[in-house]
Amino acid sequence: MSLFKHIRQLNALQCLQAKRQYSPAALKSASLQYDKDPQPLFTDSETQRLLQSMTQLQLDKVFRQRTVPDNSSETKFMTTLQLEKQFVKTIEKAKHLLQMPPVVKIKQDTERIISKDPAMKDFATTKFVFTDITFGLRHSERKVVVRDVDGSLSYASLDTTKRMNQLYFPLEGRKSYTPRMFADEQLLQRCLDEHKYEFILDRLLVQYEPYETEFHNISARVYEHLNESKQFDLLRSTRHFGPMAFFYAWHSCIDDLLYDMIRNDYLHNAVELIALSYKIHQVPVDYKQTLSQLEQLQPTPAERAHAELLSCLKTKDELGIEQEIHQAIGKTEQDFTADELSLKFIEQYIGSEHSRKKVQLELALQTLKEVNLEKLQLYQGLKKAHGVQAS
Amino acid sequence: MLPIARGVFNSLTLMTRSSRGAIHTVSAHKCKAAAAESETVEEITDESVDEGKMSGSGAPDPKDRTKVIPVETSMRYLKSAAYKTTYGDSFVWTQYRRNHKGMFAPRKTRKTCIRQGKISTGNPCPICRDEYLVLDYRNTDLLQQFISPYSGQLLSYSKTGLCQKSHLRLMVAVEQARDCGLLTYDVPFREYDYSEYYGKQEKKQEQ
């Protein structure tokens, strides 16, 4: 029996050592980190608005079919009024699903001793952990204290607190051990190479708290890899797009994302991204005027999604000829004016010393301009042909 | 003319007698053997030749399952033409039917198809009947066939017909694959209470 015990202890030791070997690998990989507290800038209402607008709201993507045990759907008969109410609710729900995970700085673990009682020394051979399991407390408010072997009573470390919280109030999807995907360097690299960005980030949110070191390291790695592979469309209209854009703006490497936005003809997003980076780095360029003008011209993503939902109620005959032209070209007159504004702003950015991939961006901008010009001509021609008055 | 016809008939009856899976399985075995040779898995073929010499008989026993097939071979097999001719586009379990008396199948499938390194039944389960299907967490193509596209859960053995032992191995492999991130699944949504992360700091700043 004693031999068995011995072997088991040895095995446990080996496991511990293996774990320790893993952790520095994850630490080493992250090269970019928030050097100061990003919280005030991130929670700022203007930043939040910019990030939400950049994220966009594609209903197909937000409400995609999930492979979860309960994904039943309900069929109902509704009047038009009820349906419109339901649409509003749907948009609210979509906004909720796009809630961005908080960006906070790494929390340092501090040892806080409550009392030292030498009389309690060697009372037991192991530590005692006391947890307050009152119902309804938040995880951060829950008190966890540890009585050490040498008799001192202290607040538990962050790691212990998290484990105790998970023990008594488990978070769905969180594992009590580190998943091998995050522990093993090669497996994570493989996931990244297969472009499973959303899966990795989703799992990261569930497994770690936003203030943990691992959270920062792994998310930074994912964003860096994404910046190289340029598959930004995978994260667009998910909850991770905002923090990603914020990360790029913070570390001033927005050019690839900007290029992607210009190529996909999301010019207002590009303007917002540049404005965000100006804001973070406190560049003395007046961006607020352009932003407010753009806001007046273009609806927010939520409004756009709502309009899209409402448009299914209308039949084709109800749509005017003007609407039909809009649909065919994909742009309205307001969009064209907004594009002109944003093009001016982006050119100004490319001309400045902040952009690093000037040639590439200029080329993309030039192509877009030509396409836009063609569209504008077509739009005006169509309008003329149908005898719609220029407003 | 007559002797040739008799020869064909004899070979057919032999085939049906030797395995109840009939021509389907036999042809599959032949295909696999051909595939293994063509893919120049020299070590494996050498071993099989050695085994053949040891046992003394010419053809290897189709019911023998003592040979360990590496996962890499299985992964290659799932992408090969031999696999395609055997199963087509359907899953490995779709064509399988359980044998039972009466109208209703017993609630549970049999405990195991392989006893003492040999197939001990006439109708082995979809995994056990094909020795080149290896349940392992790296073999994601195979594991994917047993996961429901609607609920993301593992399909029941009442649907797939796996024996209990294979089903257990399958469950373990799927769990391992998810842990390693080789199989993706929909992670539950986590809702954040912003005040939990930001509320306290704002209070401090006010003070």
Write out pLDDT tens, residues A53-63: 999 999 999 99
Sign of the Cα torsion B76, B81, B83, B88 reads positive
Contacts of A23 (CB under 8 A, 6+ apart): A183
Structurally, chain A folds into a number of domains equal to 2
Task: Annotate A195-245 with three-state secondary structure.
Answer: CCHHHHHHHHHHHCCCCCHHHHHHHHHHHHHHHHHCCHHHCCCCCCHHHHH
Query: Which band of pLDDT confidence, cut at 50, 70 and 90, is reported for residue B166?
Result: very high
Q: Quick check: B1 pLDDT over 90?
A: no
Residue B149 touches partner A, C-beta closer than 8 Å: yes
Q: Are residue A147 and residue A244 in the same domain, yes or no?
A: no
Q: Which of residues 8-27 of A touch B (CB under 8 A)?
A: none
Question: In terms of Cα–Cα distance, which of A205, A157, A211, A210 is closest to A182?
Answer: A205
- The range of the structural domain enclosing residue A147 comes to 116-168
| Paired tokens of A16 | 């511990």
User: In this predicted model, what pLDDT tens digit does every residue of A171-214 receive, in sequence order?
Assistant: 999 999 999 999 999 999 999 999 999 999 999 999 999 999 99
Tell me, yes or no, whether A255 and A312 share the same domain. yes
Q: In the prediction, which pLDDT does B43 show?
A: 44
Predicted interface score ipTM higher than 0.85: no
Computed over every residue of chain A, the mean pLDDT equals 86
Q: Sorting pLDDT into bands at 50, 70 and 90, what band is A239?
A: very high
Q: Which residue in chain A is spatially nearest to B201 when comparing CA positions?
A: A39
A259 with A304, same domain: the answer is yes
CA-angle at B46, arms to B42 and B48, nearest 5°: 120
A41 and A143: one domain?
A: no
Alpha-carbon distance B148 to A319, whole Å? 42
Rounded to 5°, the CA angle B92-B93-B96 comes to 120
The C-alpha atoms of residue A331 and residue A323 are separated, in whole angstroms, by 10
Residue of B181, B191, B200 lying closest to A181 (CB–CB): B181
Closest CA of chain B from A83, distance in Å? 26
CB contact under 8 A, B190 and A205: yes
Supply the mean pLDDT for chain B.
Answer: 79
- A168, A186, A211 - which closes a domain: A168
Q: pLDDT band at A4, cuts 50/70/90?
A: low
pLDDT at B75 over 90: yes
Rounded-to-integer distance, Cα B139 and Cα B141, Å = 6
**Which of A140, A188, A190, A204 is the best residue to mutate to test the B interface, defined by the most B CB atoms within 10 Å of its own CB?**
A140
Do both A242 and A374 map to the same domain?
Answer: yes
Mark whether A255 and A378 lie in a shared domain. yes
Question: In this structure, are residues A182 and A218 in contact, taking their beta carbons and an 8 Å threshold?
Answer: yes
- Is the CB of B150 inside 8 Å of chain A's CB atoms? yes
B-chain residues within 8 Å CB-CB of A68? 151-152, 186, 188
User: Where does the pLDDT of residue A340 fall: very low under 50, low under 70, confident under 90, or very high at 90 and above?
Assistant: confident
Domain boundary among A168, A186, A202: A168
> Rounded to the nearest 5°, which phi and psi values hold at A48?
-60, -40
- CA dihedral angle for residue B97, residue B99, residue B103, residue B109, rounded to 10 degrees: -90
Which of A48, A93, A180, A198 to mutate to probe the B interface, most B CBs <10 Å? Answer: A180
* pLDDT of res. A385: 85
Average pLDDT score over residue span A68-81: 90
Contacts of B177 in chain A (CB under 8 A): none
B41 pLDDT band (50/70/90 cuts)?
very low
**Residues A319 and A268 occupy one common structural domain:** yes
Instruction: Considering only the beta carbons, identify the residue of A104, A187, A191 that sits closest to B197.
Output: A104
My answer on whether A147 and A246 are in the same domain is no
Checking if the pLDDT of B178 tops 90, the result is: yes
Give ∠ CA A205-A188-A166 in degrees, rounded to 5: 35
In chain B, domain spans: 20-98+107-180
Residue B110 near residue B152, CB atoms below 8 Å: no
Same domain, A373 and A258: yes
pLDDT over 70 (residue A18): no
| pLDDT (average), residues A9-36 | 55
A248 and A101 in a common domain: yes
The answer to whether B180 contacts A202, with C-beta atoms less than 8 Å apart, is no
Please enumerate in sequence order all residues whose Cβ is within 8 A of that of A172, keeping only pairs 6 or more positions apart, or say none: A206, B188
Task: Indicate if A272 and A301 belong to the same structural domain.
Answer: yes
Residues A124 and A89 grouped into a single domain: no
The answer, for B156 touching chain A at a CB cutoff of 8 Å, is: no
Look at A245 and B4; give whichever has higher pLDDT: A245
Instruction: Decide if A224 is inside a domain.
Output: no
Q: Work out the minimum CA distance from B178 to partner chain A, whole angstroms.
A: 9
Residue A208 covered by a domain: no
Q: Is residue A345 part of a domain?
A: yes
Last residue of a domain, one of A150, A168, A186: A168
